[in-house]
Amino acid sequence: MSNKPITLTQFLIEQQRAHPEFGAEQRLLIEVVARACKMIAIQVSKGALGGVLGDAGTGDNVQGEAQKKLDVISNEILLQANAWGGHLAACASEEMADPQPIPDVYPRGDLLLLFDPLDGSSNIDVNVSIGTIFSVLRAKPGVDPVSAEAFLQPGSEQLAAGYCIYGPSCTLVLTIGHGVHAFTLDREIGSFLLTRSDITIPEDTREFAVNMSNQRFWEPAMQHYVADLLAGRDGPRGKDFNMRWIASMVSDVHRILTRGGIFIYPWDRREPDKAGKLRLMYEANPMAFIVEQAGGAATTGRARMLEVTPTSLHQRVPVFLGSRNEVETATRYHLEHD
Calpha distance 110→137 (Å, rounded): 9
Q: Cα separations (Å) of 49 from 45, 69, 76, 295, 315? A: 9, 14, 20, 41, 36
User: How many other C-beta atoms lie within 10 A of the C-beta of residue 57?
Assistant: 9
Among 58, 211, 215, 312, indicate the residue that binds ligand AHG (CB under 6 A). 211
Q: Per CB under 6 A, does 248 bind ligand AHG?
A: yes
DSSP 118: E
DSSP 129: -
Among 82, 100, 121, 153, indicate the residue that binds ligand AHG (CB under 6 A). 121
Calpha distance 144→86 (Å, rounded): 17
Question: Which span sits near ligand AHG by CB under 6 A: 7-15, 141-149, 150-158, 245-253?
Answer: 245-253
Among 45, 122, 200, 215, indicate the residue that binds ligand AHG (CB under 6 A). 122
Taking the least distance from each CB to ligand AHG, the nearer of 14 and 271 is 271
Taking the least distance from each CB to ligand AHG, the nearer of 159 and 326 is 326
Please check if 94 is assigned to a binding site. yes
Calpha distance 12→176 (Å, rounded): 10
Helix 324-337, helix 220-230: angle, nearest 10: 130
Taking the least distance from each CB to ligand AHG, the nearer of 29 and 287 is 287
Q: Per CB under 6 A, does 261 bind ligand AHG?
A: no
CB of 54 to ligand AHG, least distance (A): 14
In DSSP terms, 218 is beta-bridged to: none
Please check if 88 is assigned to a binding site. no
- Binding-site entries: 94, 116, 118-122, 211, 277, 283
Question: Using CB under 6 A as the criterion, which residues of the chain lie in contact with ligand AHG when the complex forms?
Answer: 65, 119-122, 211, 247-249, 252, 277
